[in-house]
Amino acid sequence: MSTENASASSVVEDSAAPGQATRLEQTNPDYDPNVVVETQNLTKIYRDFWGRQKVRALNALDLEVRKGEIFGLLGPNGSGKSTTIKLLLGLLFPTSGRALVFGKNATEVTKNERIGYLPEESYLYKFLTAEETLDFYGRLFDMPAAVRKERVESLIEQVGLTWAKRRQLKEYSKGMTRRIGLAQALINDPELILLDEPTSGLDPLGTREMKDMILKLRDQGKTIIMCSHLLADVQDVCDRIAVLYQGDLKELGRVDSLLQVSDETQIRAKNLPDAAAEEIRAVIAKHGGEVLSVDNPRTTLEELFLDIVRESQARPGHRSSGVDSN
């Protein structure tokens, strides 16, 4: 076990070793330790002062997030993603249904000892420095001073802000703020991390770093729930997704199986002569198939940008010729 893990588990008294249920959870006979989050018929209706319904933000959501997976909540703005996250955190109370985290009611404060949360905007105290910020959140987890100090230093280094750790957050750029926001979400080495639009406002490089960090956390055995309306982000990192639209669950499943088009076959090859391509077309026609396209696959814009950045970092001063590659 790493030092970080050791320190965090000493701090979070109520949390148990991975795979083990806490004393409280053991009293719940229905609790499955592999199910980290469970919602049952979860509904949220916003009402006005007089109790009249304004909007039905979430409608009878049934979900189960299992231990060690990255679960994506996908949907356009106003689809109920953030509402779901807030209900899981106890920031909102369900109108009906239940939200259970680690088998406990989402409004119970003790569950927060095992949770990390990165809000959509990094709602941090701008007058604090990065060090003070993490120290403050560490204190909220009742961490002893020595453990807190070690953890703060390690996280600041992990998110690459060592050079700016004594600057007030009001001087930080959006990307830096997101990084320190992620660091505060990880201060307690949580088992479950909830990320609300984690790549929002980040440049492509920052987005990639964030996604790499999410995958790394998953590899460390953490469970991650993220919500985003950026398809590429979800596609890249999520194991399973739920697609929400106007508060209703429209789709739920593994990303690879959801994106797989079972009645289409894509052929990708390298250094193939034109004659061979013609032969392949002929074979497809012989078996009654319809050729949609056989062409050179394109990389994504994000990939291209990252290649350029990597190239620029490897060969400083190199400039493009300015001639259209086509």
Instruction: List contacts with other proteins (CB under 8 A).
Output: 46, 51, 86, 89-93, 95, 108-110, 112-113, 115, 117, 119, 121, 123-125, 127-128, 136-137, 139-143, 184, 188
Distance (Å) of CA 29 to CA 32, 34, 191: 8, 14, 21
Positive or negative, the CA dihedral 291, 292, 298, 302 is: negative
Question: Strands, DSSP E only, in the chain?
Answer: 35-47, 53-66, 70-74, 96-101, 104-105, 115-118, 192-196, 223-228, 240-245, 248-254
Q: Give CA–CA dist 156/154, Å, rounded.
A: 6
Query: What's the alpha-carbon Rg for the chain, to the nearest Å?
Result: 23
Q: How far is the CB of 223 from other proteins (least distance, A)?
A: 16
- The three-state secondary structure class of 253 is strand
Q: How far is the CB of 80 from other proteins (least distance, A)?
A: 13
> Token digits for 295?
């062409």
Q: How far is the CB of 185 from other proteins (least distance, A)?
A: 8
- Of 125 and 160, nearer to other proteins (C-beta) is 125
Q: How far is the CB of 203 from other proteins (least distance, A)?
A: 23
Q: How far is the CB of 140 from other proteins (least distance, A)?
A: 4
One-character DSSP codes across 75-105: -STTSSHHHHHHHHHTSS--SEEEEEETTEE
The DSSP secondary-structure symbol of 72 reads E
- Among candidate residues 79, 83, 72, the one with its CA nearest the CA of residue 236: 72
Q: How far is the CB of 173 from other proteins (least distance, A)?
A: 19
Cβ atoms of 181 and 90 within 8 Å: the answer is no
Q: How far is the CB of 293 from other proteins (least distance, A)?
A: 47
The DSSP secondary-structure symbol of 300 reads P
Between the two ends of the chain, the Cα-to-Cα distance in Å is: 53
Q: Give CA–CA dist 11/142, Å, rounded.
A: 7
- Of 128 and 277, nearer to other proteins (C-beta) is 128
Q: How far is the CB of 192 from other proteins (least distance, A)?
A: 11
Q: Give CA–CA dist 72/34, Å, rounded.
A: 18
Residue length of the chain: 326
- Of 103 and 236, nearer to other proteins (C-beta) is 103
